[in-house]
Structure 1
């Protein structure tokens, strides 16, 4: 485990987890800014990479106040979730820990609540025992 990163196993394949997370974002009116298919781009370059996709998303009403208070937070916003398959075929969800981002950019606890949605967004993708 790396400091500042939360990683949790998914109960779904990469593509299934991506589809489910896209649906959750849509349902909650959270804008999906980009979906980067790292493994697809690797394949296009003639390289092999296990399924690996990055979703970049957010809500300007939540992120803008943070970036106004701490402009360097724009380095880490919008929010991102990496969905990747490990060498054993297990899918993992990874994201920046909001507490880490709070310390990194000196964000107030009140504003940190604006980015503390990642656990909620991913809870249905993670097995209940985790």
Structure 2
């Protein structure tokens, strides 16, 4: 598994399989862990409705209200970053999984790290998804 973190706090990991396969595995993993999936957006399919072409790109919005609610109570604008999001996308034939790191959300909204502890589950979830 390769992991990269951009200067903007975006973590990107490599996953085996197609975008559709990885998205399905991620939904299964979230279900097994009791994590709520709020929405799944197939951005490539949406582009096709406009007559446009986009690489396979799926955005999954998910979370646990017990973890996210204290964050939003402490900083209402953090709701712009919540629920958590994972972008599963095709990068020239390689499937990538990208998301904002919990640390970047903590920093962006000037939060006490103790308030955002629950958000760190995204790291373990994506590690499980992308393990070799």
Query: What range is the shorter-chain TM-score in?
Result: over 0.9
Moved over 3 A (4+): none
Give deviations 1:66-121, integer Å, cap 9, x for gaps. Answer: 110111111100000000001x2111100001111111111211122110111111
Stretches of structure 2 that go unaligned for 5 or more consecutive residues are 1-5
In structure 2, what is the Cα distance between the partners aligned to 1:27 and 1:111?
25
RMSD: 1.2
Is the contact between residue 14 and residue 52 of structure 1 (CA under 8 Å) also seen in structure 2? Answer: yes
Is the contact between residue 57 and residue 79 of structure 1 (CA under 8 Å) also seen in structure 2? Answer: yes
In structure 1, what is the Cα distance between the partners aligned to 2:7 and 2:47?
24
In proportion to residue count, which structure has more strand? Answer: 2
- Alignment correspondent of 1:18: 23
Is the contact between residue 67 and residue 116 of structure 2 (CA under 8 Å) also seen in structure 1? Answer: no
Is the contact between residue 5 and residue 94 of structure 1 (CA under 8 Å) also seen in structure 2? Answer: yes
In structure 1, what is the Cα distance between the partners aligned to 2:51 and 2:7?
29
TM-score w.r.t. structure 1 length? 0.92
Is the contact between residue 12 and residue 125 of structure 1 (CA under 8 Å) also seen in structure 2? Answer: no
In structure 2, what is the Cα distance between the partners aligned to 1:49 and 1:112?
34
TM-score w.r.t. structure 2 length? 0.91
- Alignment correspondent of 1:106: 110
Secondary structure, aligned partner of 2:116? helix
Secondary structure, aligned partner of 1:73? helix
Return the match for 1:33 from 31, 38, 46.
Answer: 38
Q: Does 1:6 align with 2:20?
A: no
Stretches of structure 1 that go unaligned for 5 or more consecutive residues are none
In structure 2, what is the Cα distance between the partners aligned to 1:35 and 1:13?
16
Give the number of equivalent residue pairs.
127
